[in-house]
């Protein structure tokens, strides 16, 4: 030994899977990706989930109670003596509040539809759990979907995503079925993997992104055959999308377009979904049962 000194024993280093610094590193990215696949898989199987009904829509749409309270508060404000600039700002906020109140009907209808689907699904038995409501885990239409399932006495899934601004999962998700993803593509995989139907309420870029993904997977045969895609709220979507024109221009087929269904009421949507599920999807997908 150099200089005849005895070295002290060292503490053993952490194993790689216990080293947070390593797990957060770029070389460990494949491990993180695999974890985002395996963890939901294990938990969904543990909870006996057979398949899901996915509900998308805007995170900005408020409940009728919240939107009504804001509109009433703004409308009751006494504006005498205000400057022109302040009055202009107030009128803008009042218009926005009125629009939010009109859009709140979609929150309530998503909540009601989720309740009806969950009530019906519960009648099919507890093992496996069939047609479990699945949302993106956040506020707005996502909250309404989870809330309806909760109020019906059923479990529901929330697939949240890490974003630069702090996000919170809505309180109506079943805690054991609340997942948080870093990678958008892994989150999308779990939206599509065991879904038997997709219900799309009015929404923005995120909703459109998820809708395009599902339509593309359906068109290319990468989703289970006869997966239902239901677009809710013709008035909104007819202003935002002119999908029929894609048939006219030859960029999609009439069959592609006909795979989309539309509804404007809770009862109409429920009848479409239940009829499609009873016709095509009463047999349990073996995917989760295979693990």
Residues 143-147: what's their mean pLDDT?
98
pLDDT digits (tens, 9 = 90+) for 164-194: 765 689 999 999 999 999 999 999 999 999 9
Q: Is the pLDDT of residue 49 over 90?
A: yes
Q: Which of 250, 214, 241 is nearest to 230 (CA)?
A: 214
Phi, psi of 210 (to 5 degrees): -70, -35
CB atoms within 10 A of CB 190: 21
pLDDT digits (tens, 9 = 90+) for 78-122: 888 898 899 899 899 989 989 899 999 999 999 999 999 999 999
- CA distances 80 to 86, 94, 125, 243, Å, are 11, 16, 61, 48
- Percent of the chain beyond pLDDT 90? 72
Q: Is the pLDDT of residue 37 over 90?
A: yes
pLDDT digits (tens, 9 = 90+) for 50-75: 999 999 999 999 999 999 999 899 98
- CA distances 95 to 83, 89, 102, 189, Å, are 18, 10, 11, 38
- How confident is the model at residue 190, as a pLDDT? 96
Q: Tell me the two tokens of residue 9.
A: 């024993």
- CA 47 – CA 127 distance, rounded (Å): 9
Cis peptide before 141 (omega within 30 of 0): no
- How confident is the model at residue 4, as a pLDDT? 66
Say yes or no: domain 48-62+105-289 is CATH 3.40.50.300: no
Q: Exposure pattern of 55-82 as b/e (b: 16+ CB <10 Å)?
A: bbbbbebbbbeebeebbeebeeeeeeee
The answer to whether residues 158 and 137 touch, using CB atoms and an 8 Å cutoff, is yes
Long-range contacts of 63-66 (CB under 8 A, 24+ apart): 63/104, 63/107, 63/108, 63/111, 63/144, 64/101, 64/104, 64/105, 64/107, 64/108, 66/104
Q: Is the pLDDT of residue 290 over 80?
A: no
- How confident is the model at residue 291, as a pLDDT? 61
pLDDT digits (tens, 9 = 90+) for 192-224: 999 999 999 999 999 999 999 999 998 898 888
pLDDT digits (tens, 9 = 90+) for 260-278: 999 999 999 999 999 999 9
- Percent of the chain beyond pLDDT 70? 97
The answer to whether residues 71 and 100 touch, using CB atoms and an 8 Å cutoff, is yes
- pTM beyond 0.85: the answer is yes
Q: Is the pLDDT of residue 163 over 90?
A: no
Question: H helices of 152-233, where?
Answer: 184-193, 205-219
55 DSSP β-pair partners = 199
- How confident is the model at residue 5, as a pLDDT? 77
- How confident is the model at residue 223, as a pLDDT? 85
Residues 148-166: what's their mean pLDDT?
91
Q: Is the pLDDT of residue 2 over 70?
A: no
């Amino acid at each position: 030994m150099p200089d005849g000194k005895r070295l002290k024993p060292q503490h053993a280093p952490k194993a790689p899977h216990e080293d947070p610094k390593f797990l957060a590193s770029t070389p460990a990215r494949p491990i993180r990706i695999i974890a985002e696949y395996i963890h939901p898989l294990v938990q969904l199987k543990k909870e006996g989930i057979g398949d899901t009904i996915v509900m998308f829509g805007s995170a900005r749409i408020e409940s009728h109670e919240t939107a009504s309270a804001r509109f009433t508060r703004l409308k009751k404000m006494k504006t005498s003596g205000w400057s022109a600039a302040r009055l202009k700002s107030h009128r803008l906020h009042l218009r926005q509040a009125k629009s939010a109140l009109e859009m709140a009907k979609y929150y309530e209808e998503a909540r009601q539809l989720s309740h009806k689907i969950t009530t019906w699904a519960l009648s099919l038995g507890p093992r496996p759990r069939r047609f479990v409501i699945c949302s993106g885990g956040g506020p707005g239409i996502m909250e309404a979907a989870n809330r309806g399932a909760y109020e019906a006495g059923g479990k529901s899934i929330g697939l949240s995503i890490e974003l630069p601004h702090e996000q919170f999962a809505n309180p109506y998700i079943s805690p054991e079925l609340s997942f948080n993803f870093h990678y958008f593509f892994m989150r999308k995989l779990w939206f599509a993997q065991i879904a038997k139907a997709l219900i799309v309420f009015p929404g923005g870029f995120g909703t459109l992104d998820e809708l395009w993904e599902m339509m593309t997977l359906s068109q290319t045969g990468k989703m289970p055959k006869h997966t239902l895609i239901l677009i809710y709220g013709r008035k909104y979507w007819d202003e935002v999308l002119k999908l029929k024109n894609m048939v006219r221009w030859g960029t999609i087929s009439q069959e592609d377009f006909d795979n989309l269904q539309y509804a404007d009421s809770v009862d109409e949507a429920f009848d479409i979904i239940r009829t499609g599920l009873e016709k095509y999807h009463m047999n349990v997908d073996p995917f989760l049962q295979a693990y």
